[in-house]
C-alpha cells in the first residue's frame, strides 16, 4: 500500500483526489493539509510515500514550501499539483526539488502514472505540458529569439522576469526609471511582445532565468 499526502487549500480538490485514489485499492491517503504551516506540522508525525502539493497556497509560495518540505524530509517525492501549464512553472518547481508536475485536470491514469513514476525515482511531467515542451523545442524558438539584444537589454529582461519593478531595476543597475522604461519599451518593440508574461517567456527561451 502506497501512502499519499495531499496539500490543497480547496477541500473539494482534496476529496476529489481521495476518491480517485480509492478506486485503485493500492493507495492510502494518510495526510491532508490546507496550507504550508499545517503540512510542515503534520510531517513531524506522518511522512507519506508521496506528497501531492498545490503550488498556490494562501500562506506560502509553492517553490519555497517545496524546499522547506525537503529540508524536513529529504527523501520525500513531491508532485507539484497546479492549474499552471507554463513551462516556466515546471522549471521553477523542478529546480526546487519536485519530482513530478501534474495539472489538476488530469485523469486517473495520469495521476497513478505520476505517483508510480516518482516512487520509482523517475521525474514525471504532465503529458499536456510534455507536448508543449516538445512543440517549443521544435517550433517555439520563434523569430523573437533570433533578435539580438544588447547586454543591458538582457539584464533588464532577466530582472523583469524575476518580477522586479521599474524602480527596483533602476536602483539595481544604477539607471533612472525613465531609462528603464525606455529599455522596456524597446524590448516590447524589438520582440513584438505586449505583455509582461510574454517578456517572462522570452527570458526563459533565452536561458536568462
DSSP string covering 111-145: HHHHHHHHHTT--EE-HHHHHHHHHIIIIIS-GGG
- 3 state SS of 5: strand
**pTM of the predicted model as reported, rounded to 2 decimal places:** 0.67
Domain that holds residue 43: 2-136
| 209 residues of the chain, pLDDT tens digit each | 999 999 999 999 999 999 999 999 899 999 999 999 999 999 999 999 999 999 989 899 888 999 999 999 999 999 999 888 777 778 888 888 999 999 988 888 899 999 999 999 999 988 877 776 666 555 555 545 567 888 898 899 888 888 889 999 999 999 999 999 999 988 888 877 877 777 777 776 666 65
Q: Looking at the structure, do residues 64 and 104 belong to the same domain, yes or no?
A: yes
Domain end position, chosen among 110, 136, 162: 136
Q: How far apart are CA 130 and CA 134, in angstroms?
A: 6
- 3 state SS of 185: helix
- 3 state SS of 32: strand
Q: Are 26 and 58 in contact (CB under 8 A)?
A: no
Q: How far apart are CA 163 and CA 2, in angstroms?
A: 39
Per the structure, the count of domains in the chain is: 2
Amino acid at each position: 500500500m502506497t501512502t499519499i499526502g495531499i496539500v490543497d487549500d480547496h477541500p473539494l480538490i482534496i476529496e476529489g483526489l481521495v476518491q480517485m485514489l480509492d478506486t485503485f485499492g493500492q493507495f492510502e491517503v494518510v495526510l491532508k493539509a490546507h496550507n504550508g504551516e499545517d503540512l510542515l506540522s503534520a510531517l513531524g508525525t506522518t511522512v507519506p510515500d508521496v506528497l501531492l502539493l498545490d503550488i498556490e497556497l494562501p500562506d506560502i509560495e509553492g517553490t519555497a514550501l517545496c524546499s522547506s518540505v525537503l529540508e524536513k524530509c529529504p527523501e520525500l517525492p513531491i508532485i507539484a499539483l497546479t492549474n499552471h501549464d507554463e513551462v516556466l512553472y515546471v522549471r521553477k518547481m523542478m529546480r526546487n526539488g519536485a519530482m513530478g508536475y501534474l495539472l489538476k485536470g488530469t485523469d486517473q491514469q495520469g495521476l497513478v502514472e505520476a505517483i508510480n513514476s516518482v516512487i520509482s525515482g523517475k521525474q514525471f511531467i504532465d503529458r499536456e505540458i510534455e507536448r508543449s515542451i516538445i512543440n517549443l523545442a521544435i517550433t517555439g524558438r520563434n523569430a523573437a529569439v533570433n533578435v539580438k539584444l544588447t547586454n543591458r537589454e538582457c539584464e533588464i529582461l532577466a530582472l523583469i522576469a524575476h518580477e522586479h519593478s521599474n524602480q527596483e531595476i533602476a536602483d539595481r543597475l544604477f539607471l533612472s526609471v525613465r531609462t528603464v522604461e525606455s529599455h522596456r519599451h524597446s524590448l516590447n518593440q524589438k520582440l513584438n511582445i505586449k505583455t509582461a508574461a510574454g517578456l517572462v517567456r522570452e527570458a526563459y527561451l533565452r536561458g536568462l532565468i
